[in-house]
Amino acid sequence: MGIKDIRRSFILERTIRLFCASSIAEVKIKDVAAACSIGEATFYRYFSKKSGLIVACAMKLQEKVEKYFSIDCDGNGFEKLSRFYYRFFEIFAEHQEYYRFLSEFDSYCIREEIKDLEQYSDGLDVFKKQFDDAYRAGLEDGSVKKLWDADLFYYSTTHAMLSLCKKLASEAYIVRQDDLTDKRQEIRTVIEVILQYLRNE
């Protein structure tokens, strides 16, 4: 890794901290420059505009999250799938700010009509592969039932998990019903519903 790459990575790490502590909308380029102890002109040597910085931060955060989903371990296919889905819970328990950032990132991309997300999309395939490997292992060892459409199941359940985690991490209590349950237990409940459907009994 060259010096420019190291400095770019440093800027991304500092910016992610700012975004997670505040919000994408509130953080300005001058704030990033100050956090990195560089001038704004120096910042623009690495990122030509804020949108490029935001997408790069999302990709960097994706790398951090990817480490959680590495489930190469002992156990049958169902146990691996269980670990896969419980990673959503672990991230929520340890880094709710990641989900808040993702929620803001989605809204930002829609609002600003960001189109250049191919590389970011490619990074998401890593998570699908983790699921597919665990699911195939489960079919082979008999611990998982055969799904009529495994791809549909994956996207439906992971979208549901992400949406729930982003909502619970981003939204304050508004109505009294919001205070009736524990956020972590809500996530656990959805995971257990998914796993109950997957388990071959």
User: Which pLDDT belongs to residue 179?
Assistant: 65
The pTM for the full model equals: 0.88
Residue positions counted in the chain: 201
Q: How many other CB atoms sit within 10 Å of the CB of residue 119?
A: 11
User: Which pLDDT belongs to residue 2?
Assistant: 78
Q: Please, where in the chain does CATH 1.10.10.60 lie?
A: 1-48
User: Which pLDDT belongs to residue 155?
Assistant: 97
User: Which pLDDT belongs to residue 173?
Assistant: 60
Distance between CA 198 and CA 201 in Å, rounded? 9
User: Which pLDDT belongs to residue 4?
Assistant: 83
User: Which pLDDT belongs to residue 14?
Assistant: 94
Apex 158 CA angle, 155 and 161, nearest 5? 145
Adjacent-strand bridge partners of 199: 144
Q: Please, where in the chain does CATH 1.10.357 lie?
A: 57-198
Check if CATH label 1.10.287 holds for domain 57-198. Answer: no
Write out the CATH class of domain 1-48. mainly alpha
Across the chain, which has 201 residues, the per-10-residue mean pLDDT values are 84 94 91 92 90 93 83 85 95 93 93 88 90 95 96 97 92 62 90 97 82
CA distances from 11 to 36, 46, 55, 132, 187 (A): 6, 9, 13, 34, 33
User: Which pLDDT belongs to residue 177?
Assistant: 62
Token pair for 36:
């990195």
